[in-house]
Amino acid sequence: MVPTAVRAPPTRKYRAAVALLLAAALLLAVGLPLAAPIARANRVVPAIEFGRSVAAGPSGGIVFNVTATDAPAFAPAQLSGAVAGETVTVRLYNNGSYAHSFTLARQANVVLNTSWSPAALDGYFAQNGSFLNLTVAPGGSVNGSFVLPANASGGSFEFVSLVPYQFQSGMHGTLVVGAGAPSVTLTDQALASLAFEPNILVANATGYPETLGIQVTDVGALIHTWTLSALANVQITPSNFTTFFAQHPPVVNLQILNPGATYNATFLLDGPGVYEFICEEPGHFQAGMFGFLYVGVAPPAVAAPLSTAIVQADVLLLAGILVLFSVVLALSATFMGRFPPGRRPRHGS
């Protein structure tokens, strides 16, 4: 089967093949250099710094998110993780249709008697004072802070609702002050580029619940928050985080209000997993201000949803497909050229 005369193959297909090859070359020449900086910007910074027993500053401290319900009850009813000397902030949410109060006794290790009348309960607080006395309207939220005295270490402090008959019906809880400092204090930075660095934090917990510390320095010029999800292994998004945190109050919500300053918080996690943290300032999460805290589980080995390898592989794959098409076209053009042109189906001009 040696062809004696080969009919000239259709040049249109060769032209298409050459065009595809040029497109592939262009894609490689432009796409690969573009992919590198994109990937660099999205890389996960694996540098994790561990510190020990960082004292909470006056601007930091621990934040407890407490929901008052019409049960009536406090959720959670047990608050722990705070240490003596630190600033305690309570963010009180009311998801019911009655007013509630969060009134925290100053006396350690005193259990108030639920058979007391509302007047007797009021009388107790009038006499002994309270660390905090917040009242929250239906559907509302309110914040309050106080500093735990040094002698509070290891103590239990009861909090109640002073709205008549709510305490008597079970609306009370306990703030347990830890004896020590966090086992691990993680450090993070809020950057001017609207990112946290590192955005992967790792804590090797020894047992649960585990007390951890976070230290965030604002190295940019804007205000931020460092807001940590209370739920492990749940990914939150810029579109759902407001709803999510309304339903699941964050375990830490540091308000980073002074550029250049460092903020601390101590918090408690109930179990291992990956906890997402974000900045709640409008637009910041969307711009990339989020990260993940790995507690008792291994952090991603090579990580990054957009690594150099993945982006460049996309470019290479696309170029490869173009080359393949051009080869097929060229081959078919050569092959088809051996048949009378009349046999080829004709497509539009």
Q: DSSP string covering 254-300, please?
A: EEE-STT-EEEEEEEE-S-EEEEEE--STTTTTTT-EEEEEESSPPP
- Show the binding pattern over residues 248-287: x = contacts Cu ion (CB under 5 A), - = does not: -------------------------------x-x--x---
The minimum distance between CB 39 and Cu ion, in angstroms, equals 23
- Nearer Cβ to Cu ion, position 183 or 217? 217
Q: Is 147 helix (H, G, I), strand (E, B) or coil?
A: strand
The minimum distance between CB 250 and Cu ion, in angstroms, equals 14
How large is the C-alpha radius of gyration of the chain?
A: 31
Torsion (CA) 137, 80, 180, 187 in degrees, nearest 10: -70
- Nearer Cβ to Cu ion, position 172 or 284? 284
End-to-end CA distance of the chain: 35
Give the integer Cα–Cα distance in Å for 243 and 122. 36
Computed from CA positions of residues 285, 291, 292, 293, in that sequence, does the dihedral angle turn out positive or negative?
Answer: negative
- Nearer Cβ to Cu ion, position 89 or 225? 225
- Show the binding pattern over residues 16-45: x = contacts Cu ion (CB under 5 A), - = does not: ------------------------------
Q: Binding residues for Cu ion, how many (CB under 5 A)?
A: 5
The minimum distance between CB 218 and Cu ion, in angstroms, equals 9
- Nearer Cβ to Cu ion, position 167 or 285? 285
- Nearer Cβ to Cu ion, position 45 or 142? 45
The minimum distance between CB 262 and Cu ion, in angstroms, equals 16
The minimum distance between CB 190 and Cu ion, in angstroms, equals 6
If binding is defined by CB under 5 A, does position 228 make contact with Cu ion?
A: no
Give the integer Cα–Cα distance in Å for 36 and 14. 33
- Nearer Cβ to Cu ion, position 114 or 240? 240
Indicate the pairing of strand 172-178 with strand 78-83: parallel
Mark the segment that binds Cu ion (CB under 5 A) among 4-12, 21-29, 37-45, 217-225: 217-225
The minimum distance between CB 264 and Cu ion, in angstroms, equals 18
Residue type, 267: F
Q: For the segment 284-303, give every residue that binds Cu ion (CB under 5 A).
A: 284, 289
The minimum distance between CB 227 and Cu ion, in angstroms, equals 10
The minimum distance between CB 12 and Cu ion, in angstroms, equals 56
Give the integer Cα–Cα distance in Å for 13 and 330. 6
Q: Is 28 helix (H, G, I), strand (E, B) or coil?
A: helix
Give the integer Cα–Cα distance in Å for 87 and 298. 32
Residue 325, classified by CB atoms within 10 Å of its CB into exposed (0-12), middle (13-18) or buried (19+), is middle
The minimum distance between CB 243 and Cu ion, in angstroms, equals 19
Q: For the segment 111-150, give every residue that binds Cu ion (CB under 5 A).
A: none
Q: For the segment 166-205, give every residue that binds Cu ion (CB under 5 A).
A: none
Give the integer Cα–Cα distance in Å for 268 and 210. 5
Residue type, 160: V
- Nearer Cβ to Cu ion, position 222 or 303? 222
- Nearer Cβ to Cu ion, position 193 or 204? 193
Nearest alpha carbon to residue 200 among 296, 291, 303: 291
- Nearer Cβ to Cu ion, position 19 or 287? 287
Partners of 290 in the beta sheet? Answer: 278
**Which of 224, 255, 312, 323 touches Cu ion (CB under 5 A)?**
224
- DSSP alpha helix (H) spans, 129-279: 241-247
Chain positions contacting Cu ion, by CB under 5 A: 224, 279, 281, 284, 289
